[in-house]
Copies of this chain bind each other. A is one copy, B any other.
């Protein structure tokens, strides 16, 4: 690894994306990426007795699916890296219990997918591990219950709200050569512009995306035009518009190559206000649409900026604003 500028690292040994898998709920399956997802559930309880158990079954399905996509077995995983939104990241812990591979739990809220790729790529680059499985996800019904209101209450949603994606994704990183590589990463700082509206996560997280994306361009001396695809994780419609404005103010105009997974995942007729959110949003889109675009050489590179809101219900109850973070990776196809 080599440090570039202030917060960016370049992986010097080849860090390859060997396998991937995405699984989503029925609502997400009717959205814009239906043709890209590997598995779409008919029922978001997934045959389980609780939504929490359904969430972890999605995680397990994603990891096993990603392994199968590159003909690996569970015993081929050197390290499992996962996290989620549930208190004490139980979905990931119970998934790791089933897989019986060495496990490192991480937490970055909705930035978890990219955080796991950064840590995983660093481990692969260390020339010690062959295969690392990075996974995360979220479930609408577990997140609503934990962070907002009981589902049965039917609480009205304000126009700035987003819809937590029911979905999970897993990426297998490997030292074994493949067409898609993780080339660079920018590790984010916690950014807090004093937003405390829990129903406007996009607005809260946009400044974190700004800081990380701006730092990435400055560190690498590149501009938005150097990339085929620049995707934020789950800023939603409003949040991604705020990011566009903020970036332009800082001298980097984002073009049509910029999009937000949260804004893109659902279609116009689905009542989700600002779009999707949750760990599963960028996890399912990255491990379907993005990787397939790169594989099919429809894009030669992709900058993925996953944002996370790092509050808890308790910190909000105690009057704190919402601290946010954004983690970034640059994916490249082999023949750039």
A interface residues (Cβ-Cβ under 8 A, vs B): 1-3, 7, 9, 49-50, 52-53, 78-79, 83, 85-90, 93-94, 96-97, 100-109, 115, 118-119, 122-123, 125-129, 146, 187-190, 192, 310-315, 318, 320, 323, 325
Contacts and interface: CB of A to CB of B under 8 A. Distances in A.
A109 B94 contact: no
Contacts of A90: 310-312, 314-315
A106 B190 CA distance: 14
Give how many copies assemble into the complex. 2
A50 B318 contact: yes
Nearest to A327: B104
A312 B128 contact: no
A97 B324 CA distance: 9
B3 A189 contact: no
Given A87-B312, A125-B126, A190-B100, A94 B320 contact: yes
Contacts of A103: 187-190, 325
A93 B52 contact: no
A323 B80 CA distance: 15
A83 B125 CA distance: 24
A325 B83 CA distance: 15
Contacts of A126: 1, 122, 125-126
A118 to B, nearest CB: 7
A78 B189 CA distance: 11
A310 B190 contact: no
A218 to B, nearest CB: 14
A52 B319 CA distance: 12
Given A88-B107, A318-B50, A79 B187 contact: yes
A105 B102 contact: no
Contact of A104 (B119, B129, B320): B119
Contacts of A313: 87
Contacts of A314: 52, 86-87, 90, 146
11 contacts: A1-B126, A2-B128, A9-B128, A83-B107, A88-B107, A88-B310, A88-B315, A93-B311, A93-B323, A97-B323, A102-B187
